[in-house]
Each structure stands twice: as structure tokens, then as C-alpha cells.
Structure 1
Amino acid sequence: MTVWDRPEPSPRPAPLDRERIVAAAVALADEGGLEAVSLRKVAARLGAGPMRLYGYIATKEELFDLMVDEVYAEILPEGRPGDWREALRVLAERTRLAALRHEWLADLLGGRPALGPNALAVSEATLAALDGLADVDTAMRAVETVGAYYIGAIRREIANLRAERATGLSESDWQRARGPHVTGMLATGRFPALAKFVHEGTEVDAGTSFATGLEWILDAVAAKLARPPA
């Protein structure tokens, strides 16, 4: 039985419900990451005894499941996507924006499928846009392929943001600080391909990089969907 199937206990003697518990947990995670979340800390924020929370949530893993589903409400498209490509693009973009608001989400993406009502609504909206365009297995592989891209890209972006805070150096500052080492290594002539990319490549911001890579992945999916079945 999942946490969503289990009924909540009575709110007495003090007002308490899963909605308030999850909101407090999300606030703690936004402030200090997942390591800042425990049933004891959530209870303290709500002014309740820790044991009271166990009537609503059995484990910290269940609490994380509820927190993720709370954020999926932010990811859910506001309207019906125009086509499959827009549906997958919107899913990727809204997931990235949600992760930038709630960085801890990046640590919980990519595991087992989220089964909460909001997560299932997101899946429904996405798969509905692909219904009838290809067989079920092809449609699922399309969603998985796009998901693998944006989850990886989001995790990398969040990791860079965390590194900036930990070191006090922006990406540009970090590159300048390591510039002499990189320049010296490239000058040895041992890394000609890398030297070409470093000297001739154009640096773009994380948002542009994400959007460009996403369009390339969608182009690949479009080519697969357009190919007649073997």
C-alpha cells in the first residue's frame, strides 16, 4: 500500500495533515537540501511531536515521495500541448524550472517512477500527446530518451550551481583560475582535439545549452516516429 492509499488519522489534538507536513518538508529542503529534512525537523517546524507524524507518514522515503509529487504539480502543463513535440519540450523545460526552484529535486529524479497523483497526471498529459503516433513501446522509448537527456542535463546544471556556492567561484571564475594549467597542458601538443575545442568553441549559458540539446533530441525522436515500421 502506498502512502496515497493509506487514510490519514484524525487531525486532533492539534491541526495536522499530510499537506501541511509536505509543505514544511519542502520548505526545509529548499533551505538546506534533502539532508535538512527529517521527520523530527518537520515536526519541530510544525510545533508537533515527532511521533505524531508517523500516523501520517511511515518513513522518510514516503515523505520524499510526497515532496516529489508536490513539485510535479508545478511541472504539470497548464494547457493541452499542441503536439507530441511540444508535450515533451514542455515536460523537459518545466522540470528544469522546477529543479532550479527546488534544487533537491535533482537528487530524486531518474529513479523509480513517481506514482503520486500529480506525477501520474504529468505522465498522462505527455503520453496522451504521443497516443496513436507510434506503437506503445516506441512511444515509451521516446519519453525515456528525452527524459534521460533532461534529467542528466538538470543534474549537471544543479551540480555546477552547488559548486559555485561551495567555492565562491562562478564557472567563468573557475575557468580563469585554472587557465594557466589548461594552457600549459594544451601547449604540450598532446591534446590537439581538445585544444581546438577550447580555442574555437563558443561558450553559452546553461539555459541555451539545455534548449539546444533538447531540440537535437526531439529531432532524433521525430526521425524515429517518421520512420515506417519494419
Structure 2
Amino acid sequence: MSADKQQVPSVWTRPRRQREQPALSREQIVSEAVALLDAEGLEALSMRKLGTRMGAGATSLYRHVANKDELIELVVDEVYGELEVPEAEAPEGWRAAVDASAHSLRAMALRHPWVASVLGQVGLAHLGPNLMHMSDRMLALFRAAGFDGGEADQAMKTVIAYVIGTATSEAAYLSLLARSGQDERDWLESLRPASEQAMQDHPRLREGQAARQGKDPRTVREENFDYGLQRVLDGLAARLDRR
């Protein structure tokens, strides 16, 4: 490797340290880091703060995790372990199984709103065992549907891109709502006069708002997500039909 080229550092490409402090394990560190991220967000995560939460110094954590980037790789893989990817028992069952997997991925991203913002930013998170297991199971669904190896990978990435894209904005919205301390329905109702004023010269927007009036906002968000997901799956199903 030339001097001007460097490997991408990753927790998944170096040997795990064999000497671990008995009172502390990497699994404990990761679990506590997920709890900290869920409670306070990505900005609050530091090795020093995490060590304080665990009653240990940051130096103790560095015996198990080299740096914050490695820690983020580990917590991303940890939450991907929550995903449920069913098997397609027959070729015609692929769509229902992919649908369930996509909804599971969205649910995970909304439980851990910080996760979407770190994907692709550090290290080689895709090498994590949970993420690789999930990817392999999803690939099996598209192979069962009839896609060949290369296109199965593209189809899987298309579905994941849709889910992560929509979940990122949804998670950011819910994080803003959580910081306000308000109920979603009450918050939207408080904005209604300003929204109506802003839409005064936009009849199509007013019509859309009127159609949503009185509906549970959580139901609206779920319906919007599922509408887009079904159109993505429609496109993939049409592609199979043409083949």
C-alpha cells in the first residue's frame, strides 16, 4: 500500500483485544452507549461521559474500544440486531416478507433516532455481524423472488434506501417534538392557525391538510410510509413480471 493511501479504520478489521478488564466488557459498554444515545442523542456521546455513567474512567473504556468512531460502529450493529427479517417460505411470499422487514427497520430507526444520522459516516459498519446477518437474510428474500445475485443486491439496497431516507426525516421530526415536551396532536393543533394562514393562497395544500384533519398524526405518518413502500415494491414486482 502506497504511503499516501490509508485503510479505513474500523473495529471490524482489527483483532479484538484479548485482555479485558474483568469488571467491564465491550458488551456492557455498547449497551450503556445505546441507552445514552437514546436518552440524550448523538451530541451527548463521549467516552468521558459514557465512562462517568458506568462509574469508570474513559481510560477503562479505551481498553475495549479504541475511539468514539469504533464505539459508533458497535452501537449501530447492536441496534441492527433488533431487526426481524422473516423467511419467504415460497417465491410468492417474498413481498410480504420484505414488507415486514422494511417496517421492522423503520421501527428500529424510530426507537433509536440517532442511528440514521451516523450510517455511512464512520468506519465499516456494514461488516458488523448483525448488519451482515440482516443483509444476508434480506438478500435471500429477493433471491427467492427470482432476482439474480447482482439485481437482488440492488433491489435490497433500493428498499433500505427508501426506509432509511423516510425514517431519517421522521426521526428528526420526532426528536424535535420530544425536545418540545409536547404531544404530537396538541403541537400540530397549535400550529394549525399559522398553517392555514400560510396556505391561504395554495388551495391544493389546503385540500391536503383538510383531508388529514382530525386523523391521528401517528396513523398519518404510518400511512405515508406504507404508501411509498408499496410503490417501491410495486416497481420491483413489475420488474419480476417483465423478467
Band the TM-score falls in, shorter-chain normalisation = 0.7 to 0.9
1:85-124 pair list within 5 angstroms: 85-109=95-119, 114-124=126-136
Determine the C-alpha separation between the residues in 2 that align with 1:87 and 1:210. Answer: 17
The Cα RMSD (Å) is 2.5
Deviation of 1:119 after TM superposition, in Å, equals: 0.5
1:5-44 pair list within 5 angstroms: 5-12=14-21, 14-44=22-52
Q: 1:171 to 1:8 in 2, by over 3 A?
A: same
2:88 and 2:94 in contact (8 A); partners too: yes
Whichever residue aligns with residue 29 of structure 1, its letter is L
Partner of 1:125: 137
More deviation, 31-40/115-124:
31-40
1:8 and 1:17 in contact (8 A); partners too: no
Q: Tell me the secondary structure at the aligned position of residue 16 of structure 2.
A: coil
Whichever residue aligns with residue 49 of structure 2, its letter is K
Q: 1:227 to 1:165 in 2, by over 3 A?
A: same
Deviation of 1:31 after TM superposition, in Å, equals: 1.6
Determine the C-alpha separation between the residues in 2 that align with 1:138 and 1:211. Answer: 23
Alignment of 1:213 with 2:228, yes or no, is yes
Whichever residue aligns with residue 19 of structure 2, its letter is S
Determine the C-alpha separation between the residues in 2 that align with 1:170 and 1:156. Answer: 18
Identity %: 38
Deviation of 1:126 after TM superposition, in Å, equals: 0.5
1:87 and 1:125 in contact (8 A); partners too: no
Q: 1:23 to 1:94 in 2, by over 3 A?
A: same
Q: 1:53 to 1:222 in 2, by over 3 A?
A: same
Determine the C-alpha separation between the residues in 1 that align with 2:234 and 2:181. Answer: 38
2:83 and 2:134 in contact (8 A); partners too: yes
Q: Deviations over 1:144-189 (max 9, x none)?
A: 22112111221122122122223344444344333333333444xx
Determine the C-alpha separation between the residues in 2 that align with 1:198 and 1:50. Answer: 50
Partner of 2:197: 184
Q: 1:198 to 1:95 in 2, by over 3 A?
A: same
Aligned residue pairs, count: 224
Structure 2 unmatched runs, 5+: 1-8
Partner of 2:166: 153
Q: Tell me the secondary structure at the aligned position of residue 131 of structure 1.
A: helix
1:24 and 1:42 in contact (8 A); partners too: yes
Q: Deviations over 1:77-120 (max 9, x none)?
A: 3x523343233223211112222322222322465762101110
Q: What's the TM-score, normalizing by structure 1?
A: 0.83
Partner of 2:55: 47
Q: Deviations over 1:40-83 (max 9, x none)?
A: 12222333221222222111011000001111111143x52334
1:25 and 1:67 in contact (8 A); partners too: yes
Structure 1 unmatched runs, 5+: none
Determine the C-alpha separation between the residues in 2 that align with 1:113 and 1:35. Answer: 19
Q: Deviations over 1:164-223 (max 9, x none)?
A: 223344444344333333333444xx4233233333457543223222322222111111
Q: Tell me the secondary structure at the aligned position of residue 114 of structure 1.
A: helix
Large movers: runs of 4+ above 6 Å: none
